[in-house]
Structures are given as C-alpha cells and as structure tokens.
Chains A and B, each alone.
Chain A
Amino acid sequence: MEYIYLALIFVPIIAAAFVYLFNNNTFRKAIVFLMSAVLVVLMVFAILQGDREVKLSHSLSVALEYLITFADYFLLAVIFLIGIKLRNNLISLLAALQFVFMFVFEFRAGKLEVESVFYVDHLTFIMLMLINVIGVLISIFALSYMDEHEKHLHLEKSRQNVFFGVIMLFLGAMNGLVLSNNILWVYFFWEITTLCSFLLISHDQNEESIKNATRALLLNSVGGLSFVLGIIFMYYKSGAISLSEIIKSQDSAILMIPVAFLALAGFTKSAQFPFQSWLLGAMVAPTPVSALLHSSTMVKAGVYLILRLSPVYIDTWLSNIIAVLGAFTFVAAALLAIFQTNAKRILAYSTISNLGLIIALSSIANVYSIYAAALLIILHGVSKALLFLCVGSIEQGIGSRNIEDMDGIKYKMPLAAYLTLLGSISMLLLPFGVLITKWIAIEVSTQNIVAMLEIIFGSAFTVVFWTKFIGKILSDGKDTKRIEYFEALRHLPLMAISIFVIIVSAFMVQFTNVFVVPFFKSAFARFSGVSSRGLKELYIKDFFGFNPFVFFGILVVGIVTGVILYRLLRPKRYVRVYMSCENDDNFSFRAEKDKPVEFEFKNYYFDTLVRENNITLISNIISIALIAIMFGVILK
C-alpha cells in the first residue's frame, strides 16, 4: 500500500505539469477538481492504514533516491540563478553554500540510504488532513478568485497556468515533507516549498511583489542553510539521517546542536521573530496564496518540524529557551497587531503570534501542552484559511483591505462579513478551540516563568486586537447597498471551511483522543519526565472539566433566549445617535447654517504612544539575542 503515499506526493506534481502545459480555463478547472477528489480519497486511505514505517522495493527506493538527490541539486542551482537574476548576491551565496555543503557531505558520507522511506504516524495524519482538505478547498476557491483577479489586472495572456501549477506543486511538496522519513528528503521538499512561495508571492510580477518575494526567498534560504548544517551535525553526532531513528535516539544530549539548527530552520519557515518580515511581505500576493501560506502549508512546515523533533529535546535547557522564544513571538506579534489598520496585516501578525504559541507549547514538557500544540495546528489552520479567504473577498468587493473602510460591511457583503465574524470569534471566544489552547498554554507555562509572563501579556493583547477587528466588521456604516452576489465556486469552499471551523471545535476532545493521544504515546513513550502524569490519564474525557458540547449547548440556549428576549424588548422606536442633539443623521452633524458635516471616527491604534517601527526593532533585537543565547547554551 506504499503507493498511496507515493501518490499523495506525485499526483499533485503531475497535475501541476498538466495545468502548466495546457493554459485552458475549463481544462484547468477539471484538473483541479479531479486532483482535489483524488487527494481527499488518498488521504482517507492513508489515515486508514494507521501508523507505519514503509519500506519500498529496493529498485524503486534507489530510483527515488537518485531522483531526489538530482532534483535537490537542480533546485539549489535554480535558486542560485534566481539570486543572480534578482541581483541579490546573498541569495546566490546561500544557495551556493547549501549546494557545496550538501555535495561535500554526501560525497564524504557515501551511502546515505534509509531503509524505511516513509514514516507515518498520527502527527503526519494531522498534517495530511490540513494539507489535503484545507489546501484543496483553498485551490478551489482560487479558481473563481483568480478569474476576477486577472480581470482587475487586465492581462493580455492569462498566467493562471503558472499560478495553479505552482499551487499544486506546493501541495505535493507539503505531502512529501510530512511523509518522508529520510531527513534529506524532508530538506528537499522544504526547499521546494521555499521556491514555490517565492513564485507565488512574485506572481503579479510588479516591483513590490518581486521585492517581497525576494525577501521571502532570502530569509528562507537562511533557514535552508541552517537545515543543511543541522543534517550534517546530526549525521556526525549520531549517524542518523532518518526521522524515526532521530526520535528514538537514546542520547538526546549529543543531538542538541543539530536540533538547534533545525529549530532555527523551523523559525524561519514559521516566520518567527526576527524572520517575521517575509510573511508580512507575502500579503502582496493574491489572497488564496496568503490563505495557503498562512493556514495549511509553508508556515505549518516549520512548526511541524519543531513539534516532530520535540521528543528529542524536550525537558532540556534547549526546550526552555525555545519555549521562551516561541512565547516571545506570541507576545510581540500580538502587540504589533494592535497597531495595524490593514486587515491582512492584522491576520498575518495573528498567524505569527499563534505559531509562536505552537512552538512554545511544543517545547514545554507537559502532556497537555503537546495536546494543545497539535490541536492549535489544526484549529489555527482552519480558522485562518476562512479569515483570509473572507478578507480577500471583501477586498475584491470594496477595493480596500483597510479595516477603517469596512464600516457597514455587514450590509454590503453579509455572507463574507458573517463568516469573517465566525472566523474571528473562533480565534477569540469559547466554545471555540483556540481559546482552549491559550488557556492550556497559561496553565502549563507555570513551569517556565519567563514564557509564562510573555503568554500573559500576549493573551491580553490578543483580546484587544480581535475585539477591534470584530467591532469593525459589525459596525454600522452609511453605505448599506448590498454588493455581494452568490457565486457557487467561491462560496461553497467558504461554507465548507466554516463548517470545519465548527466541527473541529465541537469534536475537539474526540479529535484529541483519536489523533493526538496516539502521537503522544508513540513519540514520547520513553520520556518519564513528560509522561509522569501517567499514560492512563491521557484518555481524558475533557480538558480540565471543559466540555465543548456543554459550551455549544449554552451558546445555543443563549441565542434562543436572546431571540425570545428580542421579541419581548422589540424596539418600538429607533433614534439617532446622541451628539448633543446636533446631528443631522447618524453620520453627520449640523455645522454652521445647519450645513451637515460628516464626521469620522477611527479605532485607536496607539501610534501616539509608541512607534510601531520602534517595537519591531526592539523585538527583533531581543529575538536575535535569544537565538544567540540558544546557541550559546548548547555549544560546548
């Protein structure tokens, strides 16, 4: 049955080639739908197979080995050439360094074969579900979005073949990344995602998008180099190059240095401070790209790697520092989100912040924190996909992504507005799961007092920026003309993702028991420190007495009561807002000679208190210092 895993990687890649070669709208749609169906079915089959390490027949394994080694060097050469074309010597230098290190390493180490090609466990399942359900829904959404996007751009020749080709390649690479056992293969797929994100960010080919894509490529190349160093140290320290061996490795002390390098690679990919700028820049790309990068692909690869390696380094000094680093990104990004007026930037900072929380949770030695980390990967992926797609639709509708322009959006685009509301509420309030993970984060972080303080502040900042965001979505506006029209190809994926938002939160406990507990048991089996609470206790019925169904029940009862109450208190009279009786209507006041003058009220952005740039600068300095400390502690 190993062909299922191979198909998960190669079906999207082959589909990508077809889409790229035949630039025909109908054909492209057919291929996207077909691939989506195939991927979902394959994913279900892969999950039904259960945990396994898969060996391939010798000849196939060797062939793949050669293919990937060759493709890897080819990829690095491509990045090198892109660097030259962009006149960015640093990118070329980083690519060349990776090329040379890799070549020398493979030449000297000789045979680097791994017996089991695929390592599939429950963490892989979590990632596969995210990639092949949410990723696929985003691609379907993109079909309609890109038609309109190109209409706005007035292109002579559609570039959608490139766009969808890269997106499919991206999905294939992500599947490869989470399935591979050989860390060299993981590295190869890692680099493909770097290249894909570069191509997607620069898709519109204007000056700004190319600039931002270049920055993304540069920062991710730093991560790539760190990854290569991690692999080399790993091999010389322990002789292991397969993930399964690394995780089972008995002596974690000697693995600290390679793990630190791999964690640094994870930081770059997950846009942690000080590498956050590439993800913010990535917003210039069409919205489906942002949705994809933020929810199911790219940034999740980084946290996946860190969570994957957590059995190796957990309960060491390294894990304490990584927890502090992750929690620092959580608080700094949440603080910066308060300053933003651009809806996409708010979402981007919130993503960075949540990824920081996932990293912090992955490295706190506690059963529940691992739970929460794995849960948050899914919850955040689903909610963020919804939010980005909605904000993208709103942007196309009103021509602005500034939340100050979103007054009255609930009248203009009701569906998009209320789904945005659902997405943001799911990030902030009970009974949705993201809050549960924040709660667990505070409870478990009492072991690490620095991380704890960061999480306390981050938690307060989170409330502030989400409340501002939700307030704008719900506020009245002068213009109430409806401009939204129903478009099946766009709305169906949106509705599907919204349903997932609710389902994932409602069945959180069941989800944990089915997917997270087995991952925990297999990966952390040998750690007495982490599992001291006893593995029996793992089958908790609920989180600390929290049962989502009870809370969903209360929510339903609350809404019903609210409706009844509304009937009782049904307003008999509507009035104008209070403006000392000097208002003309709700949006203007009477000035000289009773002439109406429109007034404007904007959210507070605290820009009079501190400058956003200063906070960014200070945060970058602190995070660089923390990374230096991380390496300082482990190098002996």
Chain B
Amino acid sequence: MKEVYLILLTVVIAPIIGGLLSGIDRKITARMQNRFGPPILQPFYDLFKLFSKETIVVSNTQILYAFLFLVFNVVALVMFVLKMDLLLILFVLAFAVTALILGAISTNSPYSRIGAHRELISVLAYEPVLIAVIIGIYLVTGSFKVYDAIKYPGFLILDLPFIFIALTYVLTIKLRKSPFDLSTSHHAHQEIVKGITTEFAGPVLGLIELGHWYELVLLLLLIGLFFAKNIAVAIFAMVLCYFLEILIDNISARLTWRIMLKFTWSIALGLALVNLIWVYIKYRVL
C-alpha cells in the first residue's frame, strides 16, 4: 500500500518540480542574456495553453508516440522511486526516446526526420556512457539496484569521480542543451524549425513537454545518487549541476554531430573507462 502512495506521489509531484525547474531555467537564461524573462510559472501556463488547443496532426499515430514518450518516462521515474534495477530503468528511458524518434519519422516531414536522425546519433553518443555509469555503480556497490546504491555507506562520488564527470557531460546531450542540442533547439533560441518536435502541436506537444519534465527529474535524481549518503549534499549537488547545465547552455554554440560523437566517445567514455578500470581492480582484483 505504501508503494501505491509513493507511486501516486511521484506521478503528481515530479511534473511540478520539473515544470518549476524549467521555469527557473528560463528565468536564469533570461537574466544571463540581460532580459527580464517570463515568470517562473510560465512553463505551466504554456502547458495549460497547449492542452486547451485544438488537436492538429499530420498523421494519427503521432498521438500514440507522444503518449508513449510520456508513459515510458513516467515508468522509468516510478521504477527509480521504487528503487529498482538501474539498467532496466535505463532501457525504459531508451524506449521513451525511441518513441519520440519514431513519432518524428512517422510523418514525412524533412525537418522532423532530420531531427529524429540527429536524436539517434545522440543516443549513439550517450547510451554507452550511461551504461558505463551504471556499471561503475555496480562495481562499487555490488548491485544494480537503486536500493543498494542509496544504502551504500559512503559517498559514491569518492569512488567514481571521473564517471560522475562523464555523467554530467552526457546530461547535456540528454537534456538537449547547447552545445549538443542537435535534435531540437532548446526553447527555439537558435532556429525557428524545432527539429524532432516540428510536427507536434497542441495537446500532443503538451504530452511531450510533460514527458520532458519527468525525464529531467529522473536525470537529476541519477546525479543525486552519487551523494545519496546525505540528502542535503545530494540536493545541493543536483542544484549545482542543473545550474552548470544552464550556464553551459548559454555560453556555447551548437556543435555538429561528428564533433559530438567524437568528443563523447573519447572524452566522456574515456573518463568513464579509466574510472571503471580502477574500480574494477580495487573491488574485484585486490
């Protein structure tokens, strides 16, 4: 019964937090650009407005894909809150992206298809790093479960500093922020056509927006896992990381997918790998 309450609580609270965070993001971004910026509650107004609009689509199946994107993100977050297997959570998160990509490909629009394929390249870039992060956690805690990572007596960050850097690196790709906002420009501040979400509109786009909020919360929780020993430290780390993401988003221009792939596979994966090897030797060999 306790689990049911927990699930309900997560499903209700997560989008509120996610929405607030993106409101804060917009405010900070505006201040960095010397603008006043919208109110912090603006994302919610936007969302309600989207849902009040008429449903306009190019193809029927788009609604299903947008819905699946939302559902898989919710499921992944719920699984995290229920402290289940990290790898499985990662797979479910990958399904969410797959649904979004399929939704974009399903219409014959060149813009959304280009966005979809760029998103695929992003998957190619961050997926190995994310799995490496989880394997790093496994090598230290001896378990893939979120439960055991939280119960771990020390700070995971002390054993996995490089892996943590790699994680924050791919977080930029996963949140589709500059310099890696290839598939869709964040808040349309560089381009008018919005890549992967070009063909989504009204309530259907609302579903995707909502899905993003759940995704954001989940990714920040993943960051928090490295500091799970102390909740205050964890929250501080999450806030700091999010601020850094916003900062990087505002000071960098977009890179091409080739550079992204090259950088992610060499720098992020390289860091993760070095960390994995020393953890492997420390906990498995010695």
List chain A positions with a Cβ less than 8 A from chain B: 407, 428-430, 435, 439, 442-443, 446, 449, 452-453, 456-457, 459-461, 463-464, 467-468, 470-472, 474-477, 544-546, 554, 558, 561-562, 565-566, 569-580, 586-587, 599, 601, 603-604, 609
Contacts and interface: CB of A to CB of B under 8 A. Distances in A.
B94 A449 contact: no
B131 A471 contact: no
A67 to B, nearest CB: 51
The CB with the most chain A CB atoms within 10 A, among B68, B120, B121, is that of: B120
Contacts of A578: 109, 111, 193, 198-199
A576 B57 CA distance: 8
Given A460-B123, A476-B107, A545-B85, A566 B63 contact: yes
Given A453-B273, A571-B63, A601 B131 contact: no
Contacts of A565: 63, 67
B271 interface: no
A463 B64 CA distance: 20
Contact of B107 (A443, A453, A577): A577
A10 to B, nearest CB: 46
A558 B127 contact: no
Contacts of B21: none
A459 B92 CA distance: 14
A575 B120 contact: no
B244 to A, nearest CB: 25
Contacts of A571: 55-57, 60, 63
B3 interface: no
A577 B109 contact: yes
Given A463-B98, A569-B203, A456 B108 contact: no
Contacts of B199: 577-578
B240 interface: no
Contact of B106 (A439, A446, A456, A475): A475
B25 to A, nearest CB: 26
A611 to B, nearest CB: 15
A471 B116 contact: yes
Interface stretch (B29-37, B132-140, B153-161, B220-228): B132-140
A459 B126 CA distance: 12
A459 B120 contact: no
A361 to B, nearest CB: 16
B232 to A, nearest CB: 30
B123 A463 contact: yes
Closest 3 CB pairs of A and B: A577-B109, A471-B105, A460-B127
Contacts of B61: 474
Given A430-B92, A546-B88, A558-B68, A575 B124 contact: no
Interface in B92-109: 92, 94-95, 98, 101-102, 105-109
B102 A467 contact: yes
Contacts of B112: 577
B217 interface: no
Nearest to B110: A601
Contact of A471 (B56, B106, B114, B276): B106
Contacts of A429: 95, 98
Contacts of B280: 449
B59 A476 contact: yes
Interface in B252-284: 258, 261, 273, 276-277, 280
B204 A460 contact: no
B92 to A, nearest CB: 7
Contacts of B85: 544-546
The CB with the most chain B CB atoms within 10 A, among A446, A470, A475, A578, is that of: A578
A456 B58 contact: no
B55 A439 contact: no
B144 interface: yes
Contacts of A577: 58, 107-110, 112, 199
A586 B58 contact: yes
13 contacts: A443-B138, A456-B135, A460-B128, A467-B102, A474-B105, A475-B108, A476-B59, A544-B88, A545-B85, A554-B75, A561-B67, A561-B71, A569-B203
B123 A572 contact: no
A587 B204 contact: no
Contacts of A407: 108
B135 A446 contact: yes
Contacts of B120: 464, 467-468, 604
Nearest to A408: B108
B27 interface: no
Interface in B120-176: 120-121, 123-124, 127-128, 131-132, 135, 138-139, 144
B227 to A, nearest CB: 23
B102 A460 contact: no
Contact of A601 (B92, B106, B108, B123): B108
B237 interface: no
Interface string B192-230: 010000110001100000000000000000000000000
B109 to A, nearest CB: 4
B55 A572 contact: yes
A443 B87 contact: yes
Contact of A476 (B106, B138, B276): B106
B54 interface: yes
